[in-house]
């Protein structure tokens, strides 16, 4: 079972470059999420998508865009990378309406992004 798959796993970017992080899930989940993890800050929500065709801003959306391409895929784009976007990025998915009912969220393995 693949679960949640993120690519790439590692990337080094120069300031001002753009890139897209790809995420796909094979669990037929409606909801998908992008989090970033920074030391001492925990996991902070960047964007989320409750269903295909909808996206919403999370806690730290500035500098990012997302696309919910279809039910399986949710991509995160950095249009002009900045050193402050150096982080570990996690994609996650869940069954809509189930988090508050006690079902877990499923995470990808993370993408390490360094902006120099």
Partner 1 sequence: AQTVTQSQPEMSVQEAETVTLSCTYDTSENNYYLFWYKQPPSRQMILVIRQEAYKQQNATENRFSVNFQKAAKSFSLKISDSQLGDTAMYFCALPTLQGGSEKLVFGKGMKLTVNP
Would you call 104 exposed, middle or buried from its count of C-beta atoms within 10 A (0-12, 13-18, 19+)? Answer: exposed
Residue matched to tokens 């500035």: 62
Binding residue (CB under 8 A) for partner 1 from 5, 20, 22, 45: 45
* Residue number, 17 or 106, with CB nearest to partner 1: 106
With contacts defined by CB under 8 A, name the span among 11-19, 35-43, 62-70, 73-81 that binds partner 1: 35-43
Residues contacting partner 1: total by CB under 8 A? 29
- Report angle CA 44, 72, 13 to the nearest 5 degrees: 50
- Sign of torsion over alpha carbons 94, 95, 100, 102: negative
Q: Which residues bind partner 1 (CB under 8 A)?
A: 31, 33, 35, 40-45, 48, 50, 56, 58, 88, 90, 92, 94, 96-102, 104-105, 107, 109-110
């Amino acid at each position: 079972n693949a679960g949640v798959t993120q690519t790439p796993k590692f990337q080094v970017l120069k300031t001002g470059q753009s890139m897209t992080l790809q995420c796909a899930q094979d669990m037929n989940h409606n909801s998908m999420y992008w989090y970033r993890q920074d030391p001492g800050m925990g996991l902070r929500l960047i964007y989320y998508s409750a269903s295909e065709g909808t996206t919403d801003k999370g806690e730290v959306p500035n500098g990012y865009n997302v696309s919910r391409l279809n039910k399986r895929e949710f991509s995160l784009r950095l249009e002009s990378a900045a050193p402050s976007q150096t982080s570990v990025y996690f994609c996650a998915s869940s069954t809509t309406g189930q988090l508050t009912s006690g079902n877990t969220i499923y995470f990808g393995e993370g993408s390490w992004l360094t902006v120099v």
